[in-house]
C-alpha cells in the first residue's frame, strides 16, 4: 500500500507543478514516484471541476458501494442463519412458553 502523504505535502507538490516544473523534476526533488504526482494532478483537476472523472472511476465507485452493500447483507444473512439454528436447537426460552389448559389454581 502506498505511503500516505499529508495534504500540505500534496498541495506543495501540485504548486511546484503549476509553477512550470516538470513531473520528473518535482518527483525527483521530493523523492516520490512520478505516477503518484500524475494521480494527484488528475484528482486535483477533477476536484476543481476542470476535468470529469473517467467512466471507469465512476464505475469503480459504484462497484465499491455494491460490494460493501453485499458484504453487509451477507453479514445479516449469517446472523439470521445462526439465530434460526439456535431457535431450532434450543426451542423457545422456558419463560416465554406458557402451558395451555389448566394453570393449577
Q: What is the pLDDT of residue 34?
A: 95
Q: Which domain holds residue 81?
A: 54-87
Q: What is the pLDDT of residue 19?
A: 96
3 and 46 fall within a common domain: yes
Q: For the whole model, what pTM was predicted?
A: 0.48
48 and 61 fall within a common domain: no
36 and 68 fall within a common domain: no
Worst-scoring range by mean pLDDT, 27-31, 52-56, 63-67, 70-74? 52-56
Residues 38-49: pLDDT tens digits? 999 999 988 888
Q: How does the average pLDDT of the chain come out, rounded? A: 85
Checking if the pLDDT of 97 tops 60, the result is no
CATH code: domain of residue 33: 1.10.10
21 and 67 fall within a common domain: no
Into how many domains does the chain fold?
2
CB 32 within 8 A of CB 12: no
Amino acid at each position: 500500500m502506498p505511503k500516505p502523504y499529508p495534504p500540505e505535502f500534496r498541495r506543495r507538490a501540485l504548486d511546484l507543478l503549476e509553477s512550470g516544473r516538470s513531473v520528473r523534476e518535482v518527483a525527483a526533488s521530493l523523492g516520490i514516484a512520478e505516477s503518484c504526482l500524475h494521480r494527484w494532478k488528475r484528482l486535483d483537476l477533477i476536484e476543481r471541476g476542470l476535468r470529469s472523472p473517467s467512466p471507469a472511476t465512476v464505475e469503480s465507485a459504484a462497484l465499491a458501494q455494491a460490494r460493501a452493500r453485499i458484504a453487509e447483507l451477507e453479514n445479516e444473512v449469517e446472523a439470521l442463519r445462526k439465530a434460526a439454528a439456535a431457535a431450532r436447537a434450543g426451542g423457545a426460552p422456558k419463560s416465554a412458553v406458557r402451558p395451555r389448559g389448566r394453570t393449577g389454581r
